[in-house]
Amino acid sequence: MEAILFNVTTAALMVMMVNCGLGVVGRDTLRGRPVPWAAAALAALAVGGVLLQLIWSGAMDALDGDPSKSGWWREFTSVFMQNGGLFGGLWNLATLAAVAALAQWYWGGPLTLGFFLAGILLPGRIDSLLGFGDGPSTDPRNFAGSSGATYFLGATLALAFLTRTRLPKELALAVGVPVLGLVMWLTQENGHGLVSVYGFALAALVWAVRHRLVRPAPGRAA
């Protein structure tokens, strides 16, 4: 029962983030938007990682993020390995492609890649800063998988949606992402939840900086 609840809440959090992304970019505008090159590149790397695992039995041992093994590259290559079985792997690939595309259409390609990179590098370091090093890790990947960085990136869409709407239901959806994420962490020790809180917080910081730097021209409303 606990495993079922874990999977249901994890999936629900992703659905909320995707809906935030659709809300912020406009559901009716998707057909006319350009190909999201950054999202395509990330998806291609993830698919390439799966194909590598299929043809090379030693790929996981060589490229996963197990801290007991040496290799600076593991922190990056482990993101494109998948260890959740067939369904888990397909879910990770599909959600990465969808979230990254929505993020690029709102944030732009370079910032989307920056957020994804932050989703790889920051959670473990914030863990250590907050004293989580000896407890359950916020890394939900179990040393491999793209879900951690994807949920981090997806949460930036919730922050974006929060800044673009005034409708109560939509505000509740956007705020619900970090709230549910924190609840998932506190009740399930579900790392997908806490990395989403981290992603939401970083996006809030980036949005605040951009909003402060990009001021309206004289005579225009803010």
**What is the pLDDT at residue 155?**
98
**What is the pLDDT at residue 219?**
44
Packing angle, helices 191-213 and 147-164, rounded to 10: 40
- Contact, 150 vs 120, CB < 8 A? no
| H/E segment holding residue 195 | helix 191-213
* DSSP secondary structure of 152-190: HHHHHHHHHHHHH---HHHHHHHHHHHHHHHHHHHHH--
The residue written with tokens 């399930």 in the block is 188
In whole angstroms, what is the distance from residue 187 CA to residue 168 CA? 27
205, 107, 117, 157: CA torsion to nearest 10 = 70
In whole angstroms, what is the distance from residue 135 CA to residue 127 CA? 9
**What is the pLDDT at residue 135?**
45
* 169-198: average pLDDT: 96
Mean pLDDT of the chain: 91
**What is the pLDDT at residue 137?**
46
> Which one, of 185, 21, 204, 205, lies nearest residue 96 by Cα?
21
Q: What is the pTM of this model?
A: 0.92
pLDDT digits (tens, 9 = 90+) for 3-51: 899 999 999 999 999 999 999 999 999 999 999 999 999 999 999 999 9
- pLDDT higher than 60, residue 191: yes
Residue 220: which pLDDT band, with cuts at 50, 70 and 90? very low
Residue 142: which pLDDT band, with cuts at 50, 70 and 90? low
Q: In the chain, pLDDT over 70 holds for what percent of residues?
A: 91
* 46-60: average pLDDT: 96
* 90-94: average pLDDT: 96
- pLDDT higher than 70, residue 221: no
**What is the pLDDT at residue 82?**
94
In whole angstroms, what is the distance from residue 199 CA to residue 206 CA? 11
**What is the pLDDT at residue 133?**
55
Q: What three-state secondary structure class fits 82?
A: coil
- pLDDT higher than 90, residue 138: no
- pLDDT higher than 70, residue 140: no
**What is the pLDDT at residue 1?**
82
In whole angstroms, what is the distance from residue 40 CA to residue 37 CA? 5
